Amino acid sequence: MVAAPNPTPAAPNPQIPSPPEGSDAALVSPDVKRENLPSPPSGQPLPRLGILASGSGSNFEAIAQSIALGHLQAEIPLVIYNNPGATVVARADRWGVPTVLLNHRDFAQREDLDRAIAHTLQQYQVQWVIMAGWMRIVTPILIEAFPQRLINIHPSLLPSFKGTKAVEQALAAGVKITGCTVHLVVPEVDSGPILMQAAVPIFPHDTPATLHQRIQVQEHRIFPAAIAAAISATA
């Protein structure tokens, strides 16, 4: 699914909530607690999402907001982060979500880190793993622990501009449209089946910062929607 770029917005899709004003604006406050919202219609236990984040955590917060608004029927039992001091910790604290630090610098091999991540996620009975700005390459150890249930977001229209600095790559290439992609994770980086995309125009005076900010508005819109769609497709 591709949303039309600004300034020609697509007709609203009722399945995808409108973006907040600005990439980081709160849709709802953390005070809106899950228990104040109606129970899921099925009465089934909520799918448990484990979040992996390395930095700011604005995508984590968009997902938490979507849950609080009742758009995404799920719960977040923990956030795993790898960089001490990552801002995602303060965001998680505000939402009352436990955080666990697994610093990749403490592990000799990528596989050792992924084994620790998988073990921790399993301890928290996580069913879906959401890479919300997780800046580490994951190995088959983690992928095979959560088959078809490991989801990533990437700031380009894949398959264009894989890997690091995707926003800078798009600017350097001179393309007029870029965007973001939510996809399932496979061993090859940024290459798994695409779940949802949104397009973002590139303007003549864009810098990496201005373009990334507009991409993030779309990320916050499609990431929760793509997770909801993936969950319902396997229900």
For ligand GRF, the closer of residues 114 and 219 by Cβ is: 219
59 near ligand GRF, rule: CB under 6 A: yes
Q: What residues from 166 to 195 belong to the interface with ligand GRF (CB under 6 A)?
A: 180
Given 71, 104, 119, 154, which residue is catalytic? 154
Q: β-strands 128-131, 48-53: how paired?
A: parallel
| CB of residue 37 to ligand GRF, shortest distance in Å | 23
Q: Tell me, yes or no, if 220 is annotated catalytic.
A: no
Residue nearest to ligand GRF (CB): 133
- CA-nearest of 137, 131, 183 to 156 is 183
Q: What is the DSSP string of 151-216?
A: EEEESS-TTSS-SS-HHHHHHHHT-SEEEEEEEE--SSTT-SPEEEEEEEE--TT--HHHHHHHHH
Q: Which is nearer to ligand GRF, 45 or 133 (CB)?
A: 133
Would you count residue 65 as binding ligand GRF (CB under 6 A)? no
* Rounded Cα distance, 132 and 152, in Å: 7
Contacts with ligand GRF, 130-169, as mask; x by CB under 6 A? --xx-------------------xxx--------------
Distance CA 64, CA 97 (A): 9
Q: Does 99 bind ligand GRF (CB under 6 A)?
A: no
How are beta strands 177-184 and 150-154 bridged, if at all? antiparallel
Q: Does 56 bind ligand GRF (CB under 6 A)?
A: yes
Q: How far apart are CA 223 and CA 217, in angstroms?
A: 10
Q: Which residue lies nearer to ligand GRF by CB, 37 or 90? A: 90
Query: Which residues lie near ligand GRF (CB under 6 A)?
Result: 53, 55-59, 132-133, 153-155, 180, 216, 219
Catalytic residues: 154
